[in-house]
Amino acid sequence: MGQADQKIVPGRYQAFPRTLCFVTHGEDVLLLRGAPDKALWPDRYNGVGGHVKADEDVRTAALREIREETGLAVHGLRLCGVINVPTEADGKGVLLFVFTARANERNVLASDEGQPEWVRRDQVYKLNLVEDLPILLPRVLAMGPDEPPFFAVYAYDEDDQLVMSFASEQQ
């Protein structure tokens, strides 16, 4: 099958790949406080990540985003989950690849995206978090080293409240 055979079929769901990484150092997790002028999640805390470029794989994208947004080189990058986030009625969405990684140092640099901040795990839930983090972050941080990645779908109900559905291994 050649490149010409890799067609996008009109009307089919299209997803844009993104990465989200939670970097740890001891008992602390690195969160990014979004810049106040950001269009998406200003002044809210999230993991580190962003778009996957057309010429890179998701692992390379995760490492690049961590470096760009924090200045850190990390090790132990691990895929923890994949989340399908349909965002538009016209059949488009985000395919979010969730990772963890470890840092050997705590020196971080701010970027246009925001200010990275080391937070003790027991203090994370006192922050102004992006809406899925109170459920997603403990799940990711509790994963054992041999645990397989999770799979999930996000949606919004009739009251515009986030509904997070995680696939069961029994399915």
Percent of the chain with pLDDT over 90: 75
The verdict on residue 30 lying in a domain is: yes
The verdict on residue 7 lying in a domain is: no
54: CB partners within 8 A, 6+ apart:
none
Residue 156 pLDDT greater than 60, yes or no: yes
The verdict on residue 3 lying in a domain is: no
Q: pTM score, two decimals? A: 0.92
Q: How many distinct structural domains can be found in the chain?
A: 1
| Domain with 22 in it | 13-166
In the block, which residue shows the tokens 């990711």?
Answer: 140
The verdict on residue 107 lying in a domain is: yes
Residue 88 pLDDT greater than 80, yes or no: no
Amino acid at residue number 107: N
78: alpha, beta or left? (left if phi > 0; alpha if psi -120 to 50): beta
Which neighbouring-strand residues pair with 33? Answer: 45, 115
Q: What is the pLDDT of residue 5?
A: 67
The verdict on residue 149 lying in a domain is: yes
Q: What is the pLDDT of residue 90?
A: 74
The verdict on residue 42 lying in a domain is: yes
The verdict on residue 2 lying in a domain is: no
160: alpha, beta or left? (left if phi > 0; alpha if psi -120 to 50): left
Percent of the chain with pLDDT over 70: 94
Q: What is the pLDDT of residue 169?
A: 64
Burial of 12 (0-12, 13-18, 19+ CB in 10 A): exposed
Residue 171 pLDDT greater than 60, yes or no: no
In this structure, what CATH number is given to the domain that contains residue 64?
A: 3.90.79.10
Q: What is the pLDDT of residue 3?
A: 62
Mean of pLDDT values over 56-70: 97
Burial of 70 (0-12, 13-18, 19+ CB in 10 A): buried
Amino acid at residue number 125: Y
Element at 139 (helix H, strand E):
helix 133-141
Question: Is 116:45 a contact under the CB 8 Å cutoff?
Answer: no
Mean of pLDDT values over 7-22: 87
Mean of pLDDT values over 152-171: 87
The verdict on residue 8 lying in a domain is: no
Burial of 118 (0-12, 13-18, 19+ CB in 10 A): middle
In the block, which residue shows the tokens 């972050």?
Answer: 137
